[in-house]
Amino acid sequence: MDRRCRAIVSSLIASCGAAALAMTTIAAQSPAAAAKPWKLARTPDGQPDLQGVWLSRSATPLERPAALAGKALLTDEELAALKANAERIFKGGNSDFAAGDAVFLAALNDPDRFTSVTSTHGSEEMIEREFDHHTSMVVDPPDGHIPPLTAEGRRRRETAAARARRPDGAEDLDKAFRCIAWGVPRLGGRYGPGDLGYYQIVQSPGYVVLFMETGHEARIVPLDGRPHLGSRAGQLGGDSRGHWEGVTLVIDTINFSPGSNFMGAAEHLHLVERLTRVDADTIRYEMTFDDPTTWTRPWTAEMPLKRTEEALYESACHEGNFEMMTGFLLSAHAGAAAEPK
């Protein structure tokens, strides 16, 4: 059963009769049904247990919208209003599919319906996005914005954008578009929170593995104190080493390949990730980015990962993405040929 079918089944179950609701309420009020205090589980080798399938489903935008400038947290009333707006906009089946920050921004602006010229699906295919009091995933700088690009970073980003608009070959197109690599970490846009944000975490003595459903990419992180690889061993996903600081898993990643691309950063990026299980169903996932050739200062973002009982499925993106890639290249060159010389 695919996710769309499961969503329909879940909706039907959720709308069962008042009798079922009453029985649930009675059970919840009985002393026997009282929830036991949560206690952090440990793996057989004594490490905090982060294992399971997790979903990044936050509706919080990456950067703070201008309308909320200076406001890091929403009030309870503001949060309730956003949730109500999102329910009206996206649950009626009359809106386009909203990805990334678009869910929060639509709820904030409260249009009659959400439309997007780039959407290929309807809102009925969206996963449930969760609102909380935060107004941005960026928590440092305090203004909730990614720091300005350096002159070099701006030039690099403009060059990449120009190549993508008029590609001479496949190498000018984004690696995610080509179904080759989706990058580390997954933050921002379609590959951040949403339907492409499923993780599985597996632990064994000396290692932790973060497996992503989309792109079926597995990050194998050693925890045994070994040094990083030499600086010339650049990899698309970087060179990761992990250790525990109390109950927090800290992953230090350097040695990205020049062919990597996280918001314009590549071989000079230093990424530090912190994963802390804060309750039975939530991992707090913090990411700090430092690349003096791309941004004017380091910055940090935070997003929750939510536990799910869903299984991961094979990603149906064929490496090379031949049909889409050739169509895009043909269209780009046809447009160039039609321009007056």
DSSP 111-147: -SS---TT--SBGGGPPPPB--SBS-SEEESTTSSPP
Q: How far is CA 244 from the centre of its chain?
A: 23
Strands 299-308 and 138-140: antiparallel
| Percent share of the chain, pLDDT over 90 | 63
For 240, residues 6+ apart whose C-beta sits below 8 A from its C-beta are 184, 219, 221, 222, 251, 252, 253
For 292, residues 6+ apart whose C-beta sits below 8 A from its C-beta are 150, 268
- CA gap 173, 187 in Å, rounded: 19
Buried b (16+ CB within 10 A) or exposed e, 110-149: eeeebeeeebeeebeebbebbbeebbbbbbeeeebebbeb
Nearest-Å Rg of the Cα atoms of the chain is 22
Q: Helix H segments across the chain?
A: 3-14, 18-29, 76-90, 102-109, 151-165, 322-338
Length of the chain: 341
Buried b (16+ CB within 10 A) or exposed e, 262-288: bbbbbbebbbbbbbbbeeeeebebbbb
Q: Is residue 90 predicted with pLDDT exceeding 80?
A: yes
Segment among 187-201, 236-250, 260-274 with least mean pLDDT:
187-201
Q: Is residue 279 predicted with pLDDT exceeding 80?
A: yes
pLDDT computed for residue 319 by the predictor: 67
Q: How much is the average pLDDT of 149-157?
A: 95
Q: How far is CA 289 from the centre of its chain?
A: 15
| Percent share of the chain, pLDDT over 70 | 83
pLDDT computed for residue 25 by the predictor: 43
**Residue 323's pLDDT band (cuts 50, 70, 90):** low
**Residue 335's pLDDT band (cuts 50, 70, 90):** low
C-alpha distances in Å from residue 45, one per residue of 76, 213, 245, 250, 299: 42, 27, 16, 17, 34
- For residue 172, give the nearest of 8, 306, 341, 336 by alpha carbon: 336
pLDDT computed for residue 316 by the predictor: 76
Q: What distance, in Å, lies between the first and last C-alpha atoms of the chain?
A: 54
Overall pTM surpassing 0.85 (yes/no) = no
Chain segment 14-60, per-residue pLDDT in tens: 444 434 434 344 344 544 456 689 999 999 999 999 999 999 999 99
Among the ranges 22-31, 164-173, 299-308, which has the highest mean pLDDT value? 299-308
Average pLDDT, the chain: 86
pLDDT computed for residue 331 by the predictor: 67
Single-letter amino acid, residue 199: Y
The alpha carbon dihedral of 321, 172, 97, 55 has a sign of: positive
Q: How much is the average pLDDT of 176-200?
A: 86
**Residue 180's pLDDT band (cuts 50, 70, 90):** confident
Q: How much is the average pLDDT of 211-216?
A: 88
pLDDT computed for residue 166 by the predictor: 76
pLDDT computed for residue 3 by the predictor: 54
**Residue 325's pLDDT band (cuts 50, 70, 90):** low
Q: Is residue 337 predicted with pLDDT exceeding 90?
A: no
pLDDT computed for residue 5 by the predictor: 44
Q: Is residue 102 predicted with pLDDT exceeding 90?
A: yes
DSSP 152-182: HHHHHHHHHHHHHHS-SSGGGS-TTTTTS--
**Residue 182's pLDDT band (cuts 50, 70, 90):** confident
Q: Which residues pair with 198 in a beta bridge?
A: 55
User: Structural domains in the chain?
Assistant: 45-58+137-316 (2.40.128.20), 74-133 (no CATH)
Chain segment 117-138, per-residue pLDDT in tens: 988 889 999 999 999 999 999 9
Contact 60, 132 (CB under 8 A): yes
Q: How much is the average pLDDT of 218-245?
A: 92
Q: How much is the average pLDDT of 65-94?
A: 96
**Residue 336's pLDDT band (cuts 50, 70, 90):** low
